[in-house]
A = this chain, B = another copy of it.
Amino acid sequence: MIHEVAILNIRPGTSIAFENAFVQAQAIISSMPGYVSHQLQCCLETPDRYLLLVEWRNLEDHTIGFRQSPQYDEWKHLLHHFYEPFPMVEHYEPVFVSYSQKL
């Protein structure tokens, strides 16, 4: 499993429109082969900043399977005009993962 990771800075004042568009966009990634999970999180310190984490079975499920698909055109159409500047997207793989024993 790998994570696609991007800090998304969106145009000021567009967070409601962005989150509404993301509702539609997340249905697209959720249907792609190799998709495992995703999270959109908003920053507490910086307005109009989000963290996108998408878990894929492997790197190529994202870089080839998704990015070279017709669905990616829909994703871009829904979301890319919100970004300012355009985000850097990186991929990460787990080194250590741990959960509280007290929960």
A11 to chain B, nearest CB (A): 17
With CB as the reference atom, state the residue of chain B lying closest to A94: B41
With CB as the reference atom, state the residue of chain B lying closest to A19: B95
Query: Which range holds the interface residue count of chain A?
Result: 35 or more
| Contact present for B41 and A99 (CB under 8 Å) | no
Chain-B contact segment, one of A45-53, A64-72, A73-81: A45-53
Contact partner of A46 (CB less than 8 A), chosen from B90, B93, B98, is B90
| Contact present for A37 and B93 (CB under 8 Å) | no
| Contact present for B44 and A96 (CB under 8 Å) | no
| Contact present for B42 and A93 (CB under 8 Å) | yes
A103 at the interface (CB under 8 A from B): yes
Binding site for B on A (CB under 8 A): 2-3, 5, 19, 22-23, 26, 30, 35-46, 49-51, 59, 90-100, 103
